Amino acid sequence: MNQREKEEYLREYAVLKAQGKPFFPYIIVKDGVMMIIVVASIMALSIMLGGELTAKADATTTTYAPRPEWYYFWAFELLKIIKPPALVSLAAVGIPTIAMLLLFLLPFYDRNPERHPLRRPVATTAGIFVIFAMFMLSYLGAEAGAPSQVDMDPPPAVLAADEATQTKWDAGRRLVAQSGCGGCHKIGHNGNDGPGPRLTDIGDRLKEGALRETLINPTQPMPSFAGLGPDAIDKMAFFMSTLKSGDSHSGEGAVPEGGH
């Protein structure tokens, strides 16, 4: 800010100050009234509509997939993107803290007297970038399914098959979801993209027999799931054999041989 700008600013300030009203009591009263209206509206809504209560917390469950509230989806997604363990704490604590510090210190480092967004290219670009990044991260975080679940509908071929096939498909789906495969594999919207390959259309690449073999005798670092027993292996292999590209869910295609 140069001398001329400073004088101009001080002159404007003096004029505005002479026109304005004192903070106390005018602004305080205005804010107080608005706060009472907001609190009263929330109270009225909670009395009239009530709050949603979900099931009681169960400390013994292993299938519960914790999900953040929607306004934390961006942080949730950020944690998923940043993979190296050494950087995880930086992502969880560091980035939000740095952002908050930057905002807090804004009046000290941003001494630019310009107010029009077009005359402040750096600030405007940074602001648009942050808003865009948070929207994108929130969207991706909301889209991502929990790794302990596999949310998909049976492909048409399975839907058209008999009830035993459908039951087997669903049992396989649940076994895959609950066996921790999502920790290393992405399946549809669920799971992590790596270190294992995507299984969303694994049925295109491997036949049911090969899938069974992979579960029993996998390549490191994938652990063997032989301990789950032949019945579980069979159901999981059948489920995976139906995962084909072609539609966004799990694929079409015929029910593979030996599907019953």
Q: Does 78 bind ligand HEC (CB under 6 A)?
A: no
* CB closer to ligand HEC, 144 vs 181: 181
Applying CB under 6 A, does 150 fall inside the site for ligand HEC? no
Largest CA distance in the chain: 88
Task: Determine if 180 is a binding residue for ligand HEC (CB under 6 A).
Answer: yes
Alpha carbons 251 and 9: distance in angstroms, whole number = 66
Determine the Cα angle at 250 with ends 79 and 145, to 5°: 20
Residues 152 and 248: beta-carbon distance below 8 Å: no
Q: Determine, following the binding rule CB under 6 A, whether residue 144 of this chain makes contact with ligand HEC.
A: no
Buried-state track 81-97, b at ≥16 Cβ within 10 A, e below 16: ebeeeeeeeebeeeeee
- Considering only 105-113, 149-157, 160-168, 194-202, which stretch makes contact with ligand HEC by CB under 6 A? 194-202
Nearer to ligand HEC, 189 or 205 (CB): 205
For the CB of residue 43, give the shortest distance to ligand HEC in the complex, in Å.
48
Q: Which residues fall within 8 angstroms of residue 188, CB to CB, at 6 or more apart?
A: 145, 150, 151, 152, 200, 249, 250
**Judged by CB under 6 A, which stretch of 1-9, 32-40, 161-169, 202-210 contacts ligand HEC?**
202-210
Q: Residue 94, interface with ligand HEC (CB under 6 A)?
A: no
The answer to whether the beta carbons of residues 209 and 247 sit under 8 Å apart is: no
Of the ranges 12-20, 60-68, 220-228, 245-253, which one interacts with ligand HEC (CB under 6 A)?
A: 220-228
CA 169 to chain centre: 27
**Segment near ligand HEC (CB under 6 A); pick from 12-20, 69-77, 129-137, 210-218:** 210-218
Q: Which stretch binds ligand HEC (CB under 6 A): 39-47, 58-66, 79-87, 205-213?
A: 205-213
Q: Which of 161, 211, 243, 255 binds ligand HEC (CB under 6 A)?
A: 211
Q: Does 214 bind ligand HEC (CB under 6 A)?
A: yes
Which of 74, 76, 169, 225 touches ligand HEC by CB under 6 A? Answer: 225
Interaction between residue 183 and ligand HEC (CB under 6 A): yes
Residue 138 contacts residue 68 (beta carbons within 8 Å): no
Among 22, 219, 227, 229, binds ligand HEC (CB under 6 A): 219
Our finding on whether 205 is near ligand HEC (CB under 6 A) is yes
The tokens describing 144, both together, are 């991502």
Helices within the chain (DSSP H only): 3-19, 28-49, 73-81, 85-89, 95-104, 106-109, 121-143, 156-160, 163-178, 202-205, 208-216, 230-241
176 is a contact residue toward ligand HEC (CB under 6 A): yes
Among 172, 164, 177, residue whose Cα is nearest residue 65: 177
Q: Which residues of the shown chain bind ligand HEC in the complex (CB under 6 A)?
A: 176, 179-181, 183-185, 195-197, 199, 202, 205-206, 211, 214-215, 218-219, 221-223, 225, 236, 240
